[in-house]
Structure 1
Amino acid sequence: MAQTRVPGMETSAISILKRAVELDQTSRFQEALVCYQEGIQLLLDVLKAVKDDSKKAQYREKITSYMDRAEQIKVRMNKLKEEGKYHEQIKIADRATGFSYESLFKPYIREELTEVWVEDPYIRHVHQLYNFLRFCEMLLKAKCNVKKIHLLTSQDEDSSSQQQSAFADIQQSLQSHNICLDIKYSPTIHDREIRFDNGWIIKIGRGLDYFTKPKGRFSIGYCDYDLRECHETTVDVFHTKHTKMT
């Protein structure tokens, strides 16, 4: 590895590990664990490239410290999961950025994930339909083996043909990727919830529609949801082995 790449990797590692510590201090343990793991890997890559023995010793000390903390978090989370008591709350502030679907859901997606349930009454209007499409795209890009997505939503009485046409297109597109989209409607649905068959349950106060309207089609955040401002909302994350999937 070229020595010229070391400063850049070190800067990235410091930034990611700083974020890990911030998340750790606010009890956002699952997100913190992901950041610790990414930052540690970068430091390990730096360690391989460094030639100076004193610097190697410093890096090893830092890596050991972060690895110990990551292991402590992992043990704590596994204990809570085993007891069915795991709960993490993420508060998204008004106008906050950095909360794309990838950023929010990635920590809870594993390779064994095969089935997803989405309950959201507001997948009706064009921007909400695009939100759902982006959620599906996120699952396709993630390291998992999703084969079926269940959507429970309400029917748009004013533009039902537009809604149904959009869903038909999404279904057909997902089918080409060997994913089945099962859609059901409920006139009384109110709760917003996303469930993974690996035990994770994510409840978002505003459902998938927690992004503000972009200022224009050519404004920052229009395409990249990590740069899109959010409405204030709360995300509750649970894990249980006894979730009844319906």
Structure 2
Amino acid sequence: MESAAASILKRAVEMDNNKQYTMALVLYQEGVQILLDSMKETKDPSRQKHFATRASQYLDRAEKIKDLVERQKASGTYRELIKIETGSTGHGYGTVFGRFLDATVTYIHIEDPYIRAFHQCQNLVRLCELAVRKCHALSKISLITTVDPEDKKNQIARLEELKQSLSCHLISFEFNFSDTLHDRQIMFSNGWIVKIGRGLDYFKASNGKFVLGACDLELRPCSETTIDIFHKSQLKNEKK
């Protein structure tokens, strides 16, 4: 457990140094919890003190990051840039979006011109599954995409099937088509906006149907892309 905590906290420090504060916060909290669990498991007073001291240090840093993010959100200056390297793993939707999905999210708006092909529609389903699991007050998801000129009929059929499935969870799903859409962004009702250069389709094709990463996108190699994360308060400041 101590080794696991060390690995997670090392990543937290790396994210912290790279100013990827929302991710650093999640990792600090996860690492601290493992340290606290380790403290409960050992009966050695010196090791208990060691775990408590380390947990306190990282928890203190986590609180400072939390305050920093809140201040920058309020002032409209928070921005987080993440570059995904080609072939890298560990960038599934849970990692990219999970920390912004909670009980405060009631509405999700998606703009992605390439929700067309079978695998692209499946990517949308995966994001919706994540949102349904984590956002207990979610009531609406909307999508703007472009028409697939090669297979419009099946594209619409897939989106209609998703709409029916979401309705069973009391979540409305609306999709519309645009002829001019280019930007790719996902907006959450709690104010967070995530822009990904490649939209939801930033994973490489799986090397097989029975290999790691075929089902779990956290294990799937990615194509190179950039993620831009900010809060809508920044947009208000830019308009001023």
Which of these residues, 153, 162, 167, is aligned with residue 161 of structure 1? 153
Partners of 2:234 and 2:77 lie apart in 1 by: 11
The answer on whether the counterparts of 2:77 and 2:234 sit within 8 Å (CA) in structure 1 is: no
Aligned to 2:106: 114
Displacement of 1:110? 2.2
What runs of 5+ residues in structure 2 fail to find an aligned partner?
none
Residue from 114, 133, 137 that aligns with 2:129: 137
Residue identity matched to 1:131: N
Say whether residues 1:194 and 2:186 are aligned partners: yes
Which residue of structure 1 aligns with residue 118 of structure 2?
Answer: 126
Shift of residue 164 of structure 1?
A: 0.7
**1:17 maps to which residue?**
9
Q: For 1:20 and 1:195, how far apart are their aligned partners in 2?
A: 25
The TM-score with structure 1 as length reference comes to: 0.92
Larger mean CA deviation between 93-102 and 103-112 belongs to: 103-112
1:41 and 2:41 matched: no
Q: Distance in 2 between matches of 1:142 and 1:19?
A: 24
**Number of aligned residue pairs:** 236
Query: Scaled by the length of structure 2, what TM-score is found?
Result: 0.95
Q: How does 1:47-196 map to 2 (within 5 A)?
A: 47-196=39-188
The alpha-carbon distance between structure 1 residues 236 and 242, as it changes in their structure 2 partners (threshold 3 A), is: closer
Residue 3 of structure 1 is matched in structure 2 by: none
Distance 1:115 1:29, change over 3 A: same
SS in 2 for 1:58: helix
Distance 2:146 2:235 in 1: 23
Q: Report percent identity of matched pairs.
A: 44
**1:27 partner letter:** K
Within 1, Cα distance between the matches of 2:185 and 2:74?
22
* Residue 22 (structure 2) pairs with residue 27 (structure 1): no
Cα shift readout 1:58-112 (whole Å, capped 9, x = no counterpart): 1111011101111111111111001011100010000110000011101212211
Cα offset for 1:243?
A: 5.8
Aligned counterparts of 1:169 and 1:110: Cα–Cα separation in 2: 25
* Runs of 4+ more than 3 Å apart: 241-244
Report what 1:4 is aligned to. Answer: none
Give yes or no for contact 1:193–1:202 (8 Å, CA) kept in 2: yes
